[in-house]
Chain A
Amino acid sequence: MGSEFLGMVNYWLSAILLLLGLHGMLMRRNLIKKLMAMNVMQVAVIMFFISLAMKTGGTAPIEQPGITEVDAYINPLPHALMLTAIVVGVSTTGVALALLIRIYRYYGTLEESELLERMQE
């Protein structure tokens, strides 16, 4: 029971980080804070995948000259997938910031309540 508890800690931490990001996105009223919470959610998903790639006693996925068995290296496939995910996160953040700059130039504010008032007019 104790080892099973310790073996699941990484999934719980990723879930807690995801929930923190979700709370930030729903509760904060400033648009920039919502964007940063979205980034936190992306990091949580990336950490979840990277922790799936771990093998006990394995080393970095670069081939050492003498060691040839499969269990001595950690799984390289989630690392390659998460490189793509990080770049997609950068792209999304860049486009979101461009949209926020346009909103600020047009309405003069980034607070959600004031934005909704000014959009009614």
Chain B
Amino acid sequence: MRTPFGSSILDAACRLPVPFIILFAVYVVIHGHHSPGGGFQGGAILAATLILIRMVRGEDDPWGLDRTRAAILASCGVGLYAGIGLLTLVFGGNYLDYSVLPLPLVPEKVRFMGTLGIEIGVALGVTGVLVLIFDALTAGETQESDDGK
């Protein structure tokens, strides 16, 4: 799973669903307030896309997410969540009290925007961690291609 699979049929077949799955993952994250979904679910779908690319095209492909960037993405996701909490502390409220954020909106929409921000943070964090776990578990594997080279 570190080297490309070596089959052009799989390579062509994985190009087709990947944009749609990414679009669906972003839809699930952003529509978490109006339909079932949210950060964890969307992050898992996005991680499934990246793992598919990694399995078919190998580890060094520029389409996918390599190990360092996955770790950076995971840290940025958790940092965004904790950062929004610290931001509410700076503006005088309790930790993660979204109503004190200075957005020019109705008070309930301010809380809406606060939860949307943390859901995006959760999605990025879960994506990075799932790709990182997959990468760590397959770090020592070599994959035999179809003709057993």
B-binding residues in A (CB < 8 A): 60, 62, 83, 86-87, 90, 94, 97-98, 101, 105
Interface pair B137/A101, CB less than 8 Å apart: yes
A-B contact pairs, 19 of them (CB 8 A): A60-B36, A62-B34, A62-B35, A62-B36, A83-B38, A83-B40, A86-B40, A87-B40, A87-B126, A90-B130, A94-B133, A94-B137, A97-B137, A98-B133, A98-B136, A98-B137, A101-B137, A101-B140, A105-B140
Q: Point out the residues of chain A lying under 8 angstroms from B126, CB to CB.
A: 87
Distance in angstroms between the alpha carbons of A60 and B140 in the assembled complex: 45
Chain B interface, number of residues (Cβ within 8 angstroms) = 11
Chief secondary structure at chain B's binding surface? helix
A-binding residues in B (CB < 8 A): 34-36, 38, 40, 126, 130, 133, 136-137, 140
Distance in angstroms between the alpha carbons of A86 and B44 in the assembled complex: 12
- Which 3 A-B pairs give the minimum distances between C-beta atoms? A94-B133, A97-B137, A87-B40
Q: Point out the residues of chain A lying under 8 angstroms from B40, CB to CB.
A: 83, 86-87
Distance in angstroms between the alpha carbons of A62 and B37 in the assembled complex: 11
Q: Which residue of A lies closest to B130 (CB)?
A: A90
Q: Which residue of B lies closest to A87 (CB)?
A: B40
Q: How far is the CB of A5 from chain B (nearest CB, A)?
A: 32
Distance in angstroms between the alpha carbons of A98 and B135 in the assembled complex: 11
Distance in angstroms between the alpha carbons of A101 and B141 in the assembled complex: 11
Of the listed residues A60, A62, A94, A97, the one surrounded by the most CB atoms of chain B closer than 10 A to its CB is: A94
Q: Point out the residues of chain B lying under 8 angstroms from A98, CB to CB.
A: 133, 136-137
Q: How far is the CB of B131 from chain A (nearest CB, A)?
A: 12
Q: How far is the CB of B18 from chain A (nearest CB, A)?
A: 23
Distance in angstroms between the alpha carbons of A97 and B135 in the assembled complex: 13
Q: Point out the residues of chain A lying under 8 angstroms from B133, CB to CB.
A: 94, 98
Q: How far is the CB of B137 from chain A (nearest CB, A)?
A: 6
Extra contacts besides A60-B36, A83-B38 (14): CB < 8 Å: A62-B34, A62-B36, A86-B40, A87-B40, A90-B130, A94-B133, A94-B137, A97-B137, A98-B133, A98-B136, A98-B137, A101-B137, A101-B140, A105-B140
